[in-house]
Amino acid sequence: MFEQNQICKLLGIKYPIFQGGMAWIGTAELASAVSNAGGLGIIGAGHMPPDLLQKEIQKCKGWTDKPFGVNIMLMSPFVKEVMKVVVDERIPVVTTGAGNPGEYIPALKGIGSKVIPVVASVALAKRLVRTGVDAVIAEGTESGGHVGDITTMALVPQIADAVDVPVIAAGGVGDSRGMTAVFALGASGVQIGTRFVLSEECIAHPNYKNFVLKASDRSTVVTGRSTGHPVRVIKNKLTREFEELERKNAPVEEIEKLGAGKLNLATHKGDVENGSVMIGQISGMLHDIKPVARIIEDLVGGIPAVVDSMQSRLR
């Protein structure tokens, strides 16, 4: 399976499965495990300063000889410096999120990196393809963290129709059914975050993982719409405070201030009531913590049964 897949051939990987570049928890531990299991591990640079990112890259290089990527969050105050680190370290795959990476594309392409931006709209996908990106990640609003407002179901086929580069689907994919479904929509690969949070290798605090394990289909909510940076998280004391501020039409600065430092509070200190528990909508169907290799084996190994079952229902 996937011997002829465009993404596998482009990146030299076994399975077209990207690990979402999650801030604070997309560390070398998780990224190297995903790459060693045949997917594409991705270090999430988030708001990391450049020296820390460089250390994380060094660790990852020590733990895997397979390709891995770095995700650059374009709202980071260190974006220019972290771009320099990925160029110096000759990272073969760079994904970007939360903005338009246009100005950085020439430098990345210059060292032969494959540049694969996350997009949440057809317009941005088309604009970026014109600047020479190698593929796009079409991320639906089902995802955790910073999200757009179009669902994966609606976004992936529209982007697949609009561009001539491979499309990787993200948002709402957590098992073989989701993976098969997005291939039906025109994707050539998947990006998965939430399922990998519930892995043994993910360094998220046990309280964070347990909170995700307890989630049901309606446990997440999008906060911060009024700031222009909407974020999907599990409902808790913090989201109620956000809702109260938004209801009062509080100034954007006040709302943004409430969010500052709250992701680390949840992922590292384990405060799942006052912290920001970013996770996707499929958390409701996940009930176990598994090793990364097992997650990938189950995702890929389950596809034939999904296709068979689908065919029997289409007959």
What are the residues binding ligand TUI (CB under 6 A)?
A: 23, 46, 73, 97-100, 118-120, 124, 139, 145-148, 229, 231, 259, 263, 278
Nearer Cβ to ligand TUI, position 255 or 300? 255
H helical segments located in the chain: 6-11, 28-36, 50-63, 79-88, 105-110, 122-130, 152-162, 176-184, 194-197, 206-214, 237-247, 252-259, 262-267, 292-301, 303-314
Q: Give the shortest CB-4-to-ligand TUI separation in angstroms.
A: 28
Q: Give the shortest CB-178-to-ligand TUI separation in angstroms.
A: 18
CA angle 219, 31, 166 (to 5 degrees): 80
- Nearby residues of 34 by Cβ (< 8 Å), 6 or more positions away: 17, 19, 40, 41, 42, 68, 196, 292, 296
**Nearest residue to 196 (alpha-carbon basis) of 302, 14, 44:** 44
What residue number has its CB nearest to ligand TUI? 145
CA angle 260, 228, 97 (to 5 degrees): 80
Nearer Cβ to ligand TUI, position 73 or 108? 73
Q: Give the shortest CB-42-to-ligand TUI separation in angstroms.
A: 12
Q: Give the shortest CB-43-to-ligand TUI separation in angstroms.
A: 13
Nearer Cβ to ligand TUI, position 146 or 205? 146
Nearer Cβ to ligand TUI, position 18 or 68? 18
Backbone φ and ψ for 227, nearest 5 degrees, come out as -85, -10
Nearer Cβ to ligand TUI, position 128 or 300? 128
Q: Give the shortest CB-277-to-ligand TUI separation in angstroms.
A: 12
